[in-house]
Chains A and B, each alone.
Chain A
Amino acid sequence: MNIYVLMKRTFDTEEKIAIANGKINEDGAEFIINPYDEYAIEEAIQVRDAQGGEVTVVSVGNEETEKQLRTALAMGADKAVLINIEDDVENGDQFTTAKILAEYLKDKDADLILGGNVAIDGGSGQVAPRVADQLGIPYVTTITKLEINGSTATITRDVEGDSEVIETSLPVLVTAQQGLNEPRYPSLPGIMKAKKKPLDELELDDLDLDEDDVEAKTKTIEIYLPPKKEAGKVLQGDLADQVKELVNLLHTEAKVI
């Protein structure tokens, strides 16, 4: 089975967010594999171990992304590909990333493509379904279970808390929801092996794309932090009085009830 995983390197949103020069300040911040993409990598490894084949993890990013790709290799992926757009694309959007990935994947004969259902930084969740559409293959998003039997896939997906059981045939693209699996930590031997696994680097040129082909359709004009919240009012006194006061405040001050 020829398996590809779409991976994004993201800012760890558990970090404190600060803004410098109109951008999120990344100095000294921790970067991680997007947590939903970790589920995708884990699932890809499990499918390969059960069915045979090869897992290739692909990321559109910059030189720094090598670190997260090595982590994916240490988890157990076989190959990694970095499409480095640092020199070619200044302000890409989801259109940009999807176009590049689809161009890379179009002649790879993938049986299964996995990604996270959303990235925790940008939070759009667009790239994977766009890629599937451009490759002309079906997709199933926010999946919590994947079973493959020959060329048929039976997939459970989360739909706002309900579950849908879906049947489709390969090739298919799926995006991972929490609950799909428990991603493994890279083992020490895994980390040693990862150093020798292939990590190829490509640029737009290698995909016969130029900047104009992938020019963003949208643009961010401002980034800002939410206004600092005033410290809330912690009520005092007898508990029964606090409850009465709270109901009164919600009714007359906050006017939400």
Chain B
Amino acid sequence: MARKVLVLGEARDGSLRNVSFEAIAAAKTVAEGGEVVGVLIGDSVSSLGNELYHYGADKVVAVEDSKLAQYTPDGYSQALMAVIEQENPEGLVFGHTSLGKDLAPKIASKLDSGLISDAIGVEEAGGNLVFTRPIYSGKAFEKKIVTDGLVFATIRPNNIAPLQKDESKSGEVAAVAAEIKDLRTIIKDVVRKATEGVDLSEAKVVVAGGRGVKSEDGFEPLKELANVLGGAVGASRGACDADYCDYSLQIGQTGKVVTPDLYIAAGISGAIQHLAGMSNSKVIVAINKDPEANIFKVADYGIVGDLFEVIPMLTEEFKKLKVNA
């Protein structure tokens, strides 16, 4: 059954997040041949429209208003409901990001619809659209279908491959009029603590440190390795609790959930709390002095040794590899 599916294009620092392109790919599956419509919301966002076309959107619409410069649930839901009224979609796909998690339940409530959160895959099977999602902190998975109403899902970053970028595709960005009013939550201040550079939840490579890093300075070699690999630095709760780094880096059941291609755990024992945030990474490397550390049980490759010796050597080897490539 062909469906019209809306995808929310989410911008951060003036460019679209990868998860928006992944959402287009998911939306193509949900659409089953129907139209995929990219939606942009902000104060000045229509210039981002072409990228949505490059990644497979069939049409792009935008709601622009100075009151939408920052995300608020009221502002964004008013904008999105205006688009929904105009486009009358049968499906919706957002990224399962901070914004998507906050906004999607409100929209689902307004539409009286179900919502499949944090999906890591979607496929057509036996006449149904079947979504896969982790449950019990990633220790099990469920397959879920929609039984009534719209097909609405948020997708976890880094799990659904975007379509091949095609820069020959482009199109118009049609403005949708919406009255944005009565915002009940006002953002007074934003304190940027998170990483400069690569976004941890979308990074292809994560280099994470635990208690074994021993100090704030101990993170420096990890940062260097992450830089060489174009990745992001993360941490275990232990490292955050010990004040070696900011909580914005924490990976785990509390903290961020990441699924990079490569996860390098340095000086992390592998408490269940931490595994919940990274065990679904594609390839896991463990570096730990303790050969009995739990992290080796989930690692694909392990080196028993001092991270302060191993990490700088790794950085050098990767540098050589990059030069030769």
Q: Is the CB of B105 within 8 A of A129?
A: yes
Q: Is the CB of B282 within 8 A of A256?
A: yes
A165 at the interface (CB under 8 A from B): yes
| Bound: A169/B74 CA distance, A | 14
B183-196: CB near A (< 8 Å → 1, else 0) gives 01111111111110
- Which of A129, A169, A226 is the most central at the interface, judged by chain B CB atoms within 10 Å of its CB? A129
| CB-defined contacts of A127 to chain B, threshold 8 Å | 105
Q: How many A-B residue pairs have CB under 8 A?
A: 252
Contact A167 B186, CB 8 Å, known A256-B282, A257-B229? yes
| Bound: A53/B138 CA distance, A | 39
A17 at the interface (CB under 8 A from B): yes
User: Nearest chain A CB to B8's CB is how many angstroms away?
Assistant: 16
Contact A216 B114, CB 8 Å, known A11-B136, A246-B303? yes
B100-135: CB near A (< 8 Å → 1, else 0) gives 011011101110111111100000000010100111
Interface size counted on chain A using CB atoms at 8 A: 76
Q: Is the CB of A247 within 8 A of B317?
A: yes
Q: Is the CB of B284 within 8 A of A166?
A: no
User: Nearest chain A CB to B269's CB is how many angstroms away?
Assistant: 15
Contact A126 B105, CB 8 Å, known A160-B97, A161-B248, A221-B145? yes
| CB-defined contacts of B89 to chain A, threshold 8 Å | none
B143 at the interface (CB under 8 A from A): yes
| Bound: A242/B110 CA distance, A | 56
A215-237: CB near B (< 8 Å → 1, else 0) gives 11111111111100101111100
A116-129: CB near B (< 8 Å → 1, else 0) gives 00001111111111
Stretch of B20-28, B45-53, B160-168, B294-302 contacting A (4+ beta carbons < 8 Å) = B294-302
| Bound: A139/B73 CA distance, A | 8
A250 at the interface (CB under 8 A from B): yes
The one of A121, A159, A164, A256 in contact with B261, judged by C-beta atoms closer than 8 angstroms, is A256
| Bound: A92/B304 CA distance, A | 47
Stretch of A59-67, A73-81, A93-101, A190-198 contacting B (4+ beta carbons < 8 Å) = A93-101
The one of A11, A19, A154, A240 in contact with B313, judged by C-beta atoms closer than 8 angstroms, is A240
The residue on A at minimum CB distance from B153 is A218
| CB-defined contacts of B273 to chain A, threshold 8 Å | 14
The one of A13, A141, A219, A243 in contact with B101, judged by C-beta atoms closer than 8 angstroms, is A141
Contact A138 B108, CB 8 Å, known A124-B115, A162-B192, A225-B140? no
The residue on B at minimum CB distance from A231 is B297
User: Nearest chain B CB to A155's CB is how many angstroms away?
Assistant: 8
- Which of B110, B229, B301, B305 is the most central at the interface, judged by chain A CB atoms within 10 Å of its CB? B301
The residue on B at minimum CB distance from A235 is B303
Contact A94 B140, CB 8 Å, known A160-B201, A246-B314? no
A202 at the interface (CB under 8 A from B): no
Q: Is the CB of A166 within 8 A of B187?
A: yes
The residue on B at minimum CB distance from A234 is B302
B283 at the interface (CB under 8 A from A): yes
| CB-defined contacts of A168 to chain B, threshold 8 Å | 184-186
The one of B184, B190, B285 in contact with A169, judged by C-beta atoms closer than 8 angstroms, is B184
Interface of A, secondary structure class, is mixed
Q: Is the CB of B145 within 8 A of A218?
A: yes
| CB-defined contacts of B143 to chain A, threshold 8 Å | 220-224
| CB-defined contacts of A139 to chain B, threshold 8 Å | 73, 106, 185
User: Nearest chain A CB to B238's CB is how many angstroms away?
Assistant: 14
B147 at the interface (CB under 8 A from A): yes
User: Nearest chain A CB to B309's CB is how many angstroms away?
Assistant: 6
Q: Is the CB of B74 within 8 A of A247?
A: no
User: Nearest chain B CB to A101's CB is how many angstroms away?
Assistant: 12
B147-189: CB near A (< 8 Å → 1, else 0) gives 1110000000000000000000000000000000000111111
Contact A257 B318, CB 8 Å, known A17-B140, A166-B186, A223-B142? yes
A68 at the interface (CB under 8 A from B): no
CB within 8 Å of A: which of B221-266?
Answer: 229, 246-249, 253-256, 261-262
A122-161: CB near B (< 8 Å → 1, else 0) gives 1111111110111000111110000000000010000111
| CB-defined contacts of B128 to chain A, threshold 8 Å | 221
Contact A219 B253, CB 8 Å, known A133-B106, A140-B185, A232-B302? no
| Bound: A141/B72 CA distance, A | 11
User: Nearest chain B CB to A85's CB is how many angstroms away?
Assistant: 17
A-B CB contact pairs (8 Å), 15 listed:
A14-B273, A123-B134, A124-B115, A133-B106, A138-B74, A138-B185, A165-B188, A168-B185, A177-B254, A224-B143, A232-B284, A232-B302, A234-B296, A240-B313, A247-B321
